Structure 1
Amino acid sequence: MNSQSQSQQQQQFRRNRAHLSQFNTTQIHPRNPFVVTFWSLMSPGLGYFMQDRTLKAFVTVIWGIFINVKSQINLAILYSFTGRFDMARNVIDKRWFILFLAVYVYGIWDGYRGTVDLNKQYVLADMEDAKLSAFKIASWDINFTDKRSPWVAVMWSAFTPGLGYLYLHKVISGLFMIGWCIIVVYMSHMLEAVHFSMHGYFQQAKTVLDMEWLLYLPSTYVFCMMDCYIDAVENNKLFEKEQSQFLREEYPIAGFTMPSLYQE
Structure 2
Amino acid sequence: MKRRQVNAKLNFWGQTVIFHKQPIVIAWWSAALPGLGHMLLDLHLKGFILFLFEIIINYHANLNLAMVDTFIGEFDKAKLDLNAQWALIYIPFYFFSIWDSYHSAININEQEALVQKSAVHVPMLTIHTFGINYLDKKMPWVGAAWSAVFPGAGQFYLRRIIPALVLFIWSVIIYVNCHELDSLQLLINGHSIDSMKVLDPEWLLFLPSIIFGSAYDAYSKAIEINQLFEKEQRTYLKNEWESDANFLFQREGPHEWRQ
Q: 1:185 aligns with which of 175, 185, 199?
A: 175
Residue of structure 1 equivalent to 2:253: none
Asked if 1:49 corresponds to 2:49, the answer is: no
- Which structure 2 segments of 5+ residues have no match? 246-259
Alpha-carbon offset, residue 133 of structure 1: 2.4
**Preserved CA contact (<8 Å) 2:16 2:42:** yes
Asked if 1:70 corresponds to 2:60, the answer is: yes
Asked if 1:122 corresponds to 2:112, the answer is: yes
Asked if 1:220 corresponds to 2:210, the answer is: yes
State the number of aligned residues: 245
- Structure 2 CA distance, aligned partners of 1:75 and 1:104? 17
Alpha-carbon offset, residue 58 of structure 1: 0.6
Q: Percent identical across equivalent pairs?
A: 34
- Structure 1 CA distance, aligned partners of 2:233 and 2:7? 14
**Preserved CA contact (<8 Å) 2:8 2:121:** no
Residue of structure 2 equivalent to 1:20: 10
- Structure 2 CA distance, aligned partners of 1:131 and 1:174? 25
Asked if 1:146 corresponds to 2:136, the answer is: yes
Segment drifting more, 188-197 vs 98-107: 98-107
Q: Secondary structure at the match of 1:128?
A: coil
Residue of structure 1 equivalent to 2:90: 100
Alpha-carbon offset, residue 254 of structure 1: 3.3
- Structure 2 CA distance, aligned partners of 1:233 and 1:104? 29
Q: 1:209 aligns with which of 196, 199, 203?
A: 199
Residue of structure 2 equivalent to 1:244: 234
Asked if 1:234 corresponds to 2:231, the answer is: no
**Alignment root-mean-square deviation, CA:** 1.4
Q: TM-score, normalised by structure 1?
A: 0.89
Alpha-carbon offset, residue 90 of structure 1: 1.5
Q: TM-score, normalised by structure 2?
A: 0.91
Alpha-carbon offset, residue 130 of structure 1: 4.9
Task: Say which one has the larger Rg.
Answer: 2
- Structure 2 CA distance, aligned partners of 1:153 and 1:206? 31
Name the amino acid aligned to 2:181: L
Alpha-carbon offset, residue 189 of structure 1: 0.9
Alpha-carbon offset, residue 253 of structure 1: 3.7
Deviations 1:39-79 (A, max 9, x none): 11111101101101000011110111011111111101111
Q: Secondary structure at the match of 1:127?
A: coil
- Which structure 1 segments of 5+ residues have no match? 1-8, 256-264
- Structure 2 CA distance, aligned partners of 1:216 and 1:140? 32
Q: Secondary structure at the match of 2:117?
A: helix
Deviations 1:167-188 (A, max 9, x none): 0011111121111111111111
Residue of structure 1 equivalent to 2:250: none
